Amino acid sequence: MAPPQKQMRPGRQLAVLGAIFVVLYLLVFFGGGASGSWQDRLEPKLGLDLVGGTRLTLEATNTVDGQAPTAENLEEARQIIESRVNAFGVAEAEVVTEGDRNIVISLPGENRDLTEVGSAAELRFRKVLQVADGSGAAANPPPSPSATPTATPSGSATPSGSATPSGSATPSGSAAPSGSATPSATGSASPTPSSSVQVTASPTGGEGGGAAAPSLSATPAASPSVTPTPSASSSPSATPAASDGATPVPASIEEQRRAVEQKVGAAAWEAANGLQSPTDVTTDPSLVEKLKPFASLTDREIAVLPAQMQFNVPQITCGQLDARPPASISAVDQQVVACEFGSIKYLLDQAKVVGTDINDANAVLDQTSQWVVSLDFTGSGQEKWTALTREAFNNEGAACDPSALGDSGNCRVAVVLDNQVVSSPEILGVLTSNSQITGNFTQQDASDLASTLRYGALPVTFEPQAQQNVTATLGASHLRAGLLAAGIGMLLVIIYSFFYYRLLGSVIFLSLVLSALLVFGALVVLGRQIGFTLTLAGIAGMIVSLGVAADSFVIYFERLKDEIREGRSPRSAVSRAWIRARRTIISANAITLMSAVVLYIVSVGVVKGFAFALGLATILDLVVVFLFRHPIMTMFARTRAFLSPRVSGLGRALPARDKPAQPRNPRAKEA
C-alpha cells in the first residue's frame, strides 16, 4: 500500500506562477531596451522572413594558387564576416555557412548593400615604381610625334594642362619636381577627385631632412583625362626590374598563361614580352596592331599575366585591371599592377607593410571635424612602416621612376585595398608613429572601412552570387500565415479537449493560454537581451510544442481514469495519478528538450531558430504543468462538478464505480 501523501496546498504553487508572470512582464514593459508606446514594448524582434530585410549569398572561390577552400577557412571567414556585419549595429544579423562553398548573410529590417562585407580586405602598402595611362588612350598614339623630348623642371607642382599627347619630357600624369616642400593640390590638369583618399600622419618624432614636418600628404595623382607622354628618363635602364621571377610561379598559373598566349597569338605575346615601357608604342606604331588581341582578354586572363606585361601593354586598361578576381594581387613578395581613379596605372613594389601589421582601426573626427580612419600599428608593424617611409623618402636605389615621384621629388606609397589603390601619397618624411586614412568620408563610410580593416582579411575569396531584398509586405504575409497556422492548431486541440474531456478541457485551454503568454513574454525579453529573432521556423517549433503539451494532458487524464476505475475517490485519484504520470511527462518532455538542444548545436540557419523555439516552449510547458495543471486539478477535485460524469469528462470511469455489483448467479437476480 502506498504511503499517505502530504496534503497539497495548490495556492502556493499558483502564487509562484503568478510571481513569474509579474517579473516577466515587468521586464517586458520596463526592462532594459524597453521604449516607445505600450504596443511597441510588446513587439518581439522579427526575423528576415517576417519583417523583411536583405539576404546575400557569397560563394567561395578557389584561391589564386589553385587550392580549394577548406572547412576551417570557411568558418574563419564566416566569423570575420559576422564581425563586419555586426559592426553595422544590428546584433540580430545572421551569418551562416551553407554547404561547403557558400556563406549566407541575412540582415533583418534593413535594405542595404552587403557586397562589401565579403571583400577580401587585404591591405597592402607598396611603393609606386612607375606611372602610366590606364585609360586605353595610349594604345592609339598620334602617327608621328613631332616634339623632341626634353627635361624641363618646373618651379610649380602644377602639371601641364594639355590633354593632347605631346613629346614633352615631363609626363602629364605626374608633377615635375619642385622646390616647394609642400605639394600643391591645384592645377587644372590634375584636379583631386571628390572620391580621393589620402593618408596623413602626425608623428611624435621623425626624420626627414628638408621636409617641413614628418607627415604623409596626398599629392594629387594624374587626371584621368591626361595621357602620360614619353619621359626622357624612360629608358630600359630606368625601368625597375620585374620581380615576377623572384617567387616560383605555380603550375596552374603557368598553364593559364600558356592558354592566354595561345589566345592572343605568338606575335602579340612576343611583342608584349619585348616591351620595356608603356611608351614604346609611341616610337614603334607597328606594336599597336600586334598588341590589339590583349584588349579582348577577360579579367581572369589578365590576372595571370606577369606584372610587367600588365603594366607595359597599353591595351590592358584600368577597367580590366579593376575587374580582376579578388586576391589577384595579394602576393606580398611580388611586384603588382593596380589603378587609381579608374584610369591611372601603377607599377607597385613588393608589399613591405600589410594589413596584419595594423593593430586597430577606428573611425574618428579629425581637427577639421572630418571623418577619418585612424590606423594603429603593432610593434613590429610600426618598425616596418618607419622603414618603408625612410626607403620612400630617400628613394633608395633610385627605385622610383621620375614619373612616379611627387612634387617634392620623393617616392609615393600606395595604399592598396584588395585590387585597387585607394591612395598614393608622397612621403615627405620618415614616419615613426601611426597614420590616418582621410578623405571625403561620411561617418558610415569611415565606420565601414574601419571595421573592414579592424577584423582583418578573409582567408577565402568570395564572389557575390545573389542579393535579395525581402519586402515588408512579403514578411507580413508570412507572419499572418504562421500565426494563422498556430491559431488553427491551438483551436483544434481545444475543440478536441472539450469534446473528449469536457470540464477537464478547460484545464487544457487555460494551460495552453498560460504557456503562450510565457513564451511570448520570453521572446520579447530574449530579443532585447541576446538578439533572438522570431522567424517562421521558430513559429513552426512552437506549433510542434502544442502537440507535446497535448500529449502530457492525455497521459495525466488517462492515468486519472485508471485510478478511479480501480476504486479510488476522485480526490485521492488526482494526487495518485499525478505521482504516476509525472515521471512519464518529465521523460517525454526531457526527450523533446534533448532533441531540441542537439538540433540547435549541430544545425545552422533557420533550423537553429526552430530548435530554440521548440526547446523554449517545452521548458515553459513543464513550468505550467508543475505550477498550474496539478494545483488546478487538486482544486477541481474538491468541487461537485468534478464528481458529475457528464461534466467532468470522467463519464466512463465514474459509473463503473457507482453501479451496484452484479450477482454471479443469474437466477439470484430473477429471485
Distance CA(311)–CA(276), nearest Å, equals 10
Residue 288 or residue 178, greater confidence = 288
Strands 123-133 and 413-417: antiparallel
pLDDT per position as a tens digit, 497-521: 888 777 778 888 888 888 889 988 9
**Rounded average pLDDT over 332-347:** 89
**Whether residue 142 sits in one domain with residue 231:** yes
DSSP, collapsed to helix, strand or coil, labels residue 436 as strand
pLDDT per position as a tens digit, 462-507: 777 777 776 666 666 766 777 787 788 778 878 888 887 777 788 8
pTM: 0.50
Among the candidates 454, 479, 496, a domain finishes at 454
**Whether residue 59 sits in one domain with residue 17:** no
**Whether residue 426 sits in one domain with residue 377:** yes
**Rounded average pLDDT over 111-130:** 76
pLDDT band at 248 (very low <50, low <70, confident <90, very high): low
Look at residue 343 in the predicted model and tell me its pLDDT.
85
| Residue 96: burial class (beta carbons within 10 Å; 0-12, 13-18, 19+) | middle
Among the candidates 400, 425, 454, a domain finishes at 454
Q: Are 315 and 139 in contact (CB under 8 A)?
A: yes
**Whether residue 572 sits in one domain with residue 486:** yes
Distance CA(279)–CA(139), nearest Å, equals 9
How many structural domains does the chain have?
A: 3
Look at residue 247 in the predicted model and tell me its pLDDT.
55
Which range marks the domain in which residue 380 is found?
Answer: 123-155+164-183+194-244+319-454
Look at residue 23 in the predicted model and tell me its pLDDT.
92
Here the cell at position 615 is 526547446
Among the candidates 454, 484, 505, a domain finishes at 454
**Whether residue 410 sits in one domain with residue 518:** no
Asked if residue 307 is part of any domain, the answer here is no
Give the sign of the dihedral formed by CA 584, CA 586, CA 591, CA 596: positive
Q: Are 60 and 120 in contact (CB under 8 A)?
A: no
**Rounded average pLDDT over 43-61:** 77
Look at residue 131 in the predicted model and tell me its pLDDT.
92
Asked if residue 189 is part of any domain, the answer here is no
**Whether residue 129 sits in one domain with residue 79:** no
Asked if residue 534 is part of any domain, the answer here is yes
pLDDT per position as a tens digit, 617-637: 899 888 988 898 888 888 887
**Rounded average pLDDT over 257-274:** 89
Question: Which residue in the block uniquely carries the three cell numbers 583625362?
Answer: 225
pLDDT per position as a tens digit, 176-209: 333 333 333 333 333 333 333 344 443 333 344 3
Instruction: Kindly tell me if the per-residue pLDDT of 296 is higher than 60.
Output: yes
Distance CA(593)–CA(589), nearest Å, equals 6
**Whether residue 442 sits in one domain with residue 329:** yes
Q: b/e per residue, 298-311, with b = 16+ CB within 10 A?
A: eeebbbbbbbbbbb
Asked if residue 281 is part of any domain, the answer here is no
